[in-house]
Structure 1
């Protein structure tokens, strides 16, 4: 198989671009680096396209290796024919290769194998071909009686031959492929309760059936979980008669003495040898489909969360609410440095509202706080009410917002948090994490395992290795899209930079602690274990503000400094202008970009990126994200009424809709049918985590604390 041609066809790309991308990947370059700095070679493929190519490349290479292995294994048995070898070489899926190999795979002794060893294969061939025979089928079988092998009567010999027929039919690759498709296209998933009287979250599935091809992914995951917890019994229901008839239709039919034996063998082959594995396979495929979609949704949600706009210039007082142990307080300056910490008790059992307000007033005045952050966990609602009263009574210029606590406790108790703040209690670390999530969500959230951030559905039920790999790619892509200040970034953040391993990230931090701040990108080459390849892949994503070369504060790669300098000269601008906000009118100054690219012997796509960066150096793409929604007064679910218009923030996107925070400590659901005035295939096509949206209240169930919202006015 020509892998380059195959990839180009499948992904609808030019073969030359695919070949270049594959070469760059094989040379050890990272996806972010190739996407950003090798656009001429790849034709401008973005990180999504490159990851799809990389994944498919890996699959096709594994496929080619498996083909070679299977050909060798069958050849070693002396059973490889030119036709079979050609079928294997032409296979485009691993499943097809395994189907072709199945008849030759070593397996435990089967009924058919025992019959073959007893010399019954010629009789089986007579049944398959429905050969003419004198007398009855038993008369024909009499010649194949083998007492030593246990086939001591014509009836037993005939039964043994039928077993060979059943296995032959069941292992034929074309039969398997056809019945697999039939099962997946026509079967139903049937679900029952193990105890119909028991109250569980799975009651909607107590008497449930739905076609496999139509069941939504979130239902598949719910059913899988219910089965795993022993609350549901699940089976795949296939029309066995139709499947058997379909199987039989693949052979010529004649009315002969072997016809009934042939029909019975086909029915046995399907029921005993094919149906169980095909039904298991259909369930497994369903689960893989649902899990793959859930991982993709999780990845999109995580990307939205990591890409949230930082709140710069905020002096933050962060509150991590609690009841018995109180509400932990951490005050941080604009850079996230801890200024103060303590505990207040605004909730039961102490319910010291007066003391809480007094302490808040003291800290706000002492540390110049302009923003309060409240975690959304236990006691959050009661804490918000006290904060709202405090602002109204004593600090009308103050603002507050609620942040998601997911993962904060994981970070605060981690080894990383212990290394960063060895002298602080875990509760203070948790409060600090909440405040920093507002100041710079990306820098703080990279310290937490992505799976713990809580923006998915059924994340604990998913393939954890695949989930971790996919989410890791998301974090890597966002970090490199934004860029990293090498002098302020934590080792956690640096570890996601293109070409930088966790150990090299620690070496970067150690180097700057020992030698002072980096003033030149070339100094990175002095960091232990940061070799030429790592430098090539990392340099453009590591920024140095206030260094010797203004270009070091931009995304322009050092390999393009000569071109960038020539561009500045052509525009009549000094490099020092970059530190004063860039050159907004640089395109007007330069004229034709394509002509300039030719003059400078530079690729047009690369030159466009350089010009855009010089236009606005160090631009943070997160500045295009929606602004954080702040409040000054508290709202509760009791205040909501149908028809009320609200502004909210999307907190989670799932298969059946989006959950929106409207400031009442209970996210409302916008069902997929209420996201837009048109058909929506998936909620992520309309919204993503972090989006600010306008919604209308449809229904409020105060007893069950459920809020139904719509994004379609009047719907």
Structure 2
């Protein structure tokens, strides 16, 4: 009995020791790793979704824009760009402290307004942004200018400005002047400008430095590729940075496309791309459906229809008594919409999904999927934190979405937070189910803490 008691004691000690020293730490590591993995996946998913929304922000096409990169000591950099993104003029003004030369700044901007048909001013949201915004808003009111302004998320603009790409694009400009150009171009075509920047520098998401960088990079690159191919690329205006995200095109081939365009001028038809070095038959087949030629010899080249399906597209048009020259006409569109999908697809020897894609492309040949999204918020006046009162209704732009809510730019120095509990009257599993980056939303002021510079907002309608 004494022996069995001794054995039991030794066995109990062994079990306790093995649990404490080996089993418990192992289980703890396993649980911790599992939780870290799921948290990492969530952080990457949030970042990717925010990036997708940011890249898909609608472009404000056909506007001459004045880009403003605010600063205190070094002054506000100005860049005027035309409808195509070409730099027309640059300058530096000092409307903020320490110089406070508002008269000189006003004179310079008014001379730009007189010289160029500027409709919109794009102000970066970094240092001295709100002071610059106040100056611009006062000037618009004072001189009754037919122009509006918007605040642009300038995250990553300085990264681009100091990059090799920016030096090649603007060798004669200072780093700060390049960022003013980038801010203005982000308004005209956010996607074309933001692809020039490392996605991690764009300033959306959460915990990006705590996750596996390889996984994050792969996810973000996939998002950029998906968006670029979804929107399509104008092969006559796209930069090499944009082209390299097109399915099938490498960095080298993208550079060759730009070189060829510089040699021969504009491409007039898709088939001309076959002559580009290293763009072989397989690459052509893979990429050509995502490349557009908007004013070329072949009207179908401005659609997402692959050249392999041109014959089917023409046959479909013939069925409704139209030709490719009628693309986009409302009469032709009505006839195409009225066709029986299954029967017509069989007649053309096409799958129903392929038929639907071709029909949609013929009905809206130059359609940009970004046009369906809410346009950015344009402003002519400015608010300060002191103007805010509880219950005040405002319009704002979603700047970032995180697990616990959404940050909204309502036009004061500090973005306001709409907590997840204040996003909707219904249960919200994740803020992304309700809002996305770039959305223009109606909010009400919930609480303002001027001392801590915090603004709590709600999207729940006020009774």
Identify the residue that residue 408 of structure 1 maps to in structure 2: 157
Q: Kindly tell me: are residues 581 and 510 of structure 1, through their superposed partners in 2, closer, same or farther at Cα, counting changes over 3 Å?
A: farther
Distance 1:665 1:468 in 2: 31
State the Cα distance separating 1:714 from its structure 2 match: 2.8
State the Cα distance separating 1:405 from its structure 2 match: 1.1
Contact 1:322-1:378 within 8 A present in 2 as well: yes
Task: Report which of the two structures shows the higher radius of gyration computed on alpha carbons.
Answer: 1
Cα shift readout 1:429-470 (whole Å, capped 9, x = no counterpart): 100000000010000000000000001112122211111110
Identify the residue that residue 104 of structure 1 maps to in structure 2: none
Identify the residue that residue 269 of structure 2 maps to in structure 1: 520
Distance 1:268 1:556 in 2: 69
Distance 2:70 2:295 in 1: 40
Contact 2:397-2:440 within 8 A present in 1 as well: yes
State the Cα distance separating 1:398 from its structure 2 match: 1.0
Distance 2:33 2:331 in 1: 55
Identify the residue that residue 45 of structure 2 maps to in structure 1: 296
Query: TM-score, length-normalised on structure 2?
Result: 0.97
State the Cα distance separating 1:260 from its structure 2 match: 3.8
Contact 1:321-1:380 within 8 A present in 2 as well: yes
Corresponding residue to 1:338 among 54, 78, 87: 87
Corresponding residue to 1:446 among 195, 208, 228: 195
Q: Kindly tell me: are residues 332 and 580 of structure 1, through their superposed partners in 2, closer, same or farther at Cα, counting changes over 3 Å?
A: farther
Distance 2:159 2:331 in 1: 41
Distance 1:692 1:465 in 2: 33
User: Are 1:353 and 2:102 counterparts?
Assistant: yes
- 1:605-684 map, 5 Å: 605-684=353-432
Cα shift readout 1:556-612 (whole Å, capped 9, x = no counterpart): 0111111111101111111111266893213355x2111111111110000001001
Identify the residue that residue 3 of structure 2 maps to in structure 1: 136
SS for the counterpart of 1:136 is: helix
User: Are 1:603 and 2:351 counterparts?
Assistant: yes
SS for the counterpart of 1:411 is: helix
Distance 1:582 1:566 in 2: 17
Contact 1:586-1:615 within 8 A present in 2 as well: no
State the Cα distance separating 1:265 from its structure 2 match: 2.4
Distance 2:188 2:364 in 1: 22
Contact 1:581-1:617 within 8 A present in 2 as well: no
SS for the counterpart of 2:71 is: coil
Cα shift readout 1:179-204 (whole Å, capped 9, x = no counterpart): xxxxxxxxxxxxxxxxxxxxxxxxxx
Distance 1:582 1:555 in 2: 21
State the Cα distance separating 1:257 from its structure 2 match: 7.0
Identify the residue that residue 316 of structure 1 maps to in structure 2: 65
Give the gaps of 5 or more residues in structure 1. 1-133, 138-255
Cα shift readout 1:281-338 (whole Å, capped 9, x = no counterpart): 3222222221210110011111111000101121111110011110000001111110
Give the gaps of 5 or more residues in structure 2. none
Which is bigger in relative contact order (C-alpha 8 A, separation at least 6)?
A: 2
Distance 1:594 1:579 in 2: 23
SS for the counterpart of 1:370 is: strand
Structure that is richer in helix per residue: 1
Distance 1:382 1:136 in 2: 86
Number of residues paired by the alignment?
463
Cα shift readout 1:522-549 (whole Å, capped 9, x = no counterpart): 1212111112221121110000111121
SS for the counterpart of 1:442 is: helix
Mean CA deviation greater in 391-400 or 697-706? 391-400
Q: Kindly tell me: are residues 581 and 387 of structure 1, through their superposed partners in 2, closer, same or farther at Cα, counting changes over 3 Å?
A: farther
User: Are 1:329 and 2:78 counterparts?
Assistant: yes
Corresponding residue to 1:570 among 298, 319, 334: 319
Distance 1:370 1:618 in 2: 25
Corresponding residue to 2:36 among 279, 283, 287: 287
Distance 2:394 2:330 in 1: 37
- 1:410-559 map, 5 Å: 410-559=159-308
Contact 1:641-1:697 within 8 A present in 2 as well: yes
Distance 2:337 2:41 in 1: 47
Identify the residue that residue 27 of structure 2 maps to in structure 1: 278
Contact 1:582-1:614 within 8 A present in 2 as well: no
Cα RMSD after superposing both structures: 1.6
State the Cα distance separating 1:703 from its structure 2 match: 1.2
Q: Kindly tell me: are residues 581 and 416 of structure 1, through their superposed partners in 2, closer, same or farther at Cα, counting changes over 3 Å?
A: farther
Distance 1:466 1:660 in 2: 28
Contact 2:328-2:362 within 8 A present in 1 as well: no
SS for the counterpart of 1:319 is: strand
Distance 1:274 1:640 in 2: 57
User: Are 1:704 and 2:452 counterparts?
Assistant: yes
Cα shift readout 1:632-679 (whole Å, capped 9, x = no counterpart): 111111111000001111110001000011111211000000000011
Contact 2:328-2:363 within 8 A present in 1 as well: no
Distance 2:332 2:199 in 1: 38
Q: Kindly tell me: are residues 319 and 588 of structure 1, through their superposed partners in 2, closer, same or farther at Cα, counting changes over 3 Å?
A: closer
Distance 1:438 1:534 in 2: 32
Contact 2:270-2:293 within 8 A present in 1 as well: yes
Distance 2:257 2:120 in 1: 33
Q: Kindly tell me: are residues 582 and 611 of structure 1, through their superposed partners in 2, closer, same or farther at Cα, counting changes over 3 Å?
A: farther
Distance 2:392 2:255 in 1: 51
Distance 1:310 1:712 in 2: 29
Mean CA deviation greater in 410-419 or 391-400? 391-400
State the Cα distance separating 1:258 from its structure 2 match: 4.3
- 1:195-274 map, 5 Å: 258-274=7-23
